[in-house]
A = this chain, B = another copy of it.
């Protein structure tokens, strides 16, 4: 048994990472930092960790950043880092949604690669503009739809692409939680506060926070675009300003049909992202909460349990695995895979070579744009009695 995958590749130096947002009290910032460390491709060297300068400073000290690399403002950070000899190679933006676009623009303009949390922006216009800028820059622009980093999600995608399921007919995807089943936003939870605040979260609640992940996962695995959707968004918790549950029907460009359910009020569910894909020849099922297993059911044969890095795991999933089957990898390793792949893309540019093709599976600004269109379409459909809306 050996450590498999690109995590094992040699590198001549660690890449330098800066972070915008993610200071004390944040959740996802810490996840990004662990993810960046796991495969040892990155070192965090700079940060504008909060829009509150006091908190930014304290947070930077917590992380053992050098004092001169702790910034109170992302614009300052972008300006200065571009001039440093050992300036950051890439920045990761983990602020609330409404602040993504401005920060991303600043670093793109500074010639620094960007890693941005989802959803990309809070409006379609902003998303399209940012995509244009990113493409023109020629820089790496990754959007952390992290569930695409799970080995067996990649295996699923490769199996669909290879035709092992035949033409896809039905896609059932859901992402349900219960942490907003009560008025959490009034308990002092920063997470709940901004996620239920249209000014910071954008036009959608659950749809933007987790629905986008479900949508992205479906398009990622199926390798097809959702052409139109019919959605009913609803707010169950009284006084909440954004949706906390949404039901949708999906039509894929290829003719496949789908359903998407996202909820933050489903009592008993923690982080229930699940996808099932049914084709003419076989079906697939994967659950994020138990991510080391992929059920593959060829029509006419008993279902097979494909285990991460186990028998039947293909080279795509093996390349995204660290340790042998039966030694469970989880959320952080799936997230780490994105960081490792992004590092590979950037290293390839530095070293003027082609990147490992597996590394190109990381969602880009284009998938970010898809996510924003999805939110926009869902909100508009719901406003129009679940009329079909094109993406």
Contact = CB atoms under 8 A, between A and B. Distances in A.
Interface of A: 1-3, 8, 10-11, 13-14, 25, 27, 30-31, 33-34, 37-40, 62-64, 165, 169-170, 172, 174, 177-179, 181-182, 189, 191, 230, 232, 234, 236, 245, 247, 249, 257-259, 261, 263, 265-272, 276, 278-283, 285, 288-292, 295-307, 310-312, 322-333, 385-388
7 contacts: A34-B322, A249-B249, A268-B283, A290-B290, A296-B302, A302-B310, A328-B330
Contact of A330 (B170, B296, B329): B329
Contact of A385 (B62, B278, B299, B388): B388
A311 B302 CA distance: 5
A268 B297 contact: yes
A283 B266 contact: yes
A15 to B, nearest CB: 12
A63 B62 CA distance: 26
How many copies make up the complex? 4
B267 A283 contact: yes
A38 B388 contact: no
B181 A299 contact: yes
A300 B13 CA distance: 38
Contact of A191 (B1, B27, B329): B1
Nearest to A328: B330
Given A38-B332, A271-B325, A329-B330, A232 B257 contact: yes
A270 B325 contact: yes
A170 B326 CA distance: 20
Given A301-B311, A303-B304, A290 B38 contact: no
Nearest to A44: B40
A272 B326 contact: yes
Contact of A271 (B285, B326, B385): B326
Contacts of A285: 268
Nearest to A300: B311
A328 B291 contact: yes
A291 B328 CA distance: 8
Contacts of A247: 249, 257-259
